């Protein structure tokens, strides 16, 4: 009987000191981070097909194509595990790699503007639509993760739950900063409704491409 009372008292004490909140918000972070990773992986899976279809119309755009492929490879080289959110340095490295891939994809889609036949290709249009949808889902998933981390980190830092956090090893989690949010916030787009751009003069074509990317 005494033992049961002690267990009950301890449970009530932990509950009042934020233990349950720490547990529930930690689980929410894991769930939201898993969705972020899922959407990033969905995007990475689209890249090889995108590169191949662009290559079919613009094989000479080697620099831009190579940048996308290499950026995807750098993303894939990072072990995107649930434990990543417990390592600030690894987290920032992962987010930086994703931002680099976003930029590379955007440049590739911008190059596509110079190729009306590519823009009219059904596969390219489908891939673009999938990419845009995935970027939007990434934005939503990131927002949910940020909100979950904010709630959790406030609990970890606030009294008296900070004492509970210290006793049970709960530490603050990394989140997206203003800098890396800006780098990956805008989804790449191609306006299929816009008229094809005017063909550049023969003497200007090489220069505009070499200086723009």
The span from the CA of 66 to the CA of 72, in Å, is 10
In a domain, 212, yes or no: no
In a domain, 201, yes or no: no
Residue 178's pLDDT band (boundaries 50, 70, 90)?
Answer: low
In a domain, 32, yes or no: no
Domain range holding 179? 40-190
Q: Looking at residue 57, which CATH number applies to its domain? A: 1.20.1440.20
DSSP 85: G
DSSP 92: H
In a domain, 204, yes or no: no
pTM check: above 0.85: no
pLDDT at 14 over 60: no
In a domain, 113, yes or no: yes
In a domain, 4, yes or no: no
In a domain, 110, yes or no: yes
The encoded tokens of residue 105 equal: 């994809």
CA proximity to 68, closest of 39, 36, 38, 109: 109
Of 10-19, 33-42, 45-54, 138-147, the least confident: 10-19
State how many domains the chain has.
1
In a domain, 49, yes or no: yes
pLDDT at 99 over 90: yes
């Amino acid at each position: 009987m005494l033992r049961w009372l002690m267990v009950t008292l301890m449970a009530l004490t932990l509950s009042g000191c934020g233990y349950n909140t720490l547990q529930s918000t930690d689980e929410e972070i894991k769930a939201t981070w898993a969705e972020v990773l899922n959407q990033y992986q969905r995007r990475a899976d689209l890249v090889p097909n995108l590169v191949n279809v662009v290559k079919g119309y613009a094989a000479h755009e080697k620099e831009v194509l190579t940048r996308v492929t290499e950026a995807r490879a750098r993303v894939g080289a990072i072990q995107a595990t649930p434990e990543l959110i417990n390592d600030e340095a690894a987290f920032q490295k992962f987010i930086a790699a994703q931002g680099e891939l976003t930029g590379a994809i955007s440049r590739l889609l911008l190059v596509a503007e110079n190729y009306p036949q590519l823009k009219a290709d059904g596969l390219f249009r489908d891939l673009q639509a999938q990419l845009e949808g995935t970027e939007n889902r990434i934005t939503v998933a990131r927002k949910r993760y940020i909100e979950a981390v904010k709630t959790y980190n406030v609990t970890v830092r606030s009294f008296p739950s900070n004492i509970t956090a210290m006793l049970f090893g709960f530490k603050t989690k990394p989140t997206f900063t203003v800098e890396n949010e800006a780098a990956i916030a805008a989804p790449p787009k191609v306006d299929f409704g816009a008229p094809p751009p005017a063909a550049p003069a023969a003497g200007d074509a090489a220069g505009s491409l070499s200086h723009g990317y």
